Amino acid sequence: MDKIKADEAMKELTMMLMYLSRFSEKDRFFNGEDFYAWKGYNFDILNGLDDEDYIRQGSHPSRTKSVYITETGIDYAKKLMEKYGIEDWR
């Protein structure tokens, strides 16, 4: 594998960690098919992932503690996991 820049590695690793630690809220309003992750990551990285439509932080990002992982984000995370040879939980 070729070396990549540290900022690109942070972006990729953050996306994979969010995907691997994802959760779903299933109740009377949600069917449990949407995935969320906690926001304990570098805010610049999160903002960049939001700008690229891999995640959504909501209308008040500084107030929310979780992010929504978009279909594009799920696909991106799965490709990254394949790139790094990591198996999914499910």
Going by pLDDT thresholds of 50, 70 and 90, the confidence category of residue 89 is confident
Q: Is residue 74 part of a domain?
A: no
Confirm whether 56 is domain-assigned. yes
The verdict on residue 46 lying in a domain is yes
Q: Is 41 helix (H, G, I), strand (E, B) or coil?
A: coil
User: pLDDT per residue over 19-63, tens digit each?
Assistant: 999 988 775 555 667 899 999 999 999 999 999 999 999 888 778
Please give the tally of structural domains in the chain.
1
Tell me which residue range forms the domain holding 55.
Answer: 10-26+35-60+79-90
58 vs 74, residue with greater confidence: 74
Phi (first) and psi of residue 52, to 5 degrees: -90, 5
The pLDDT assigned to 85 comes to: 94
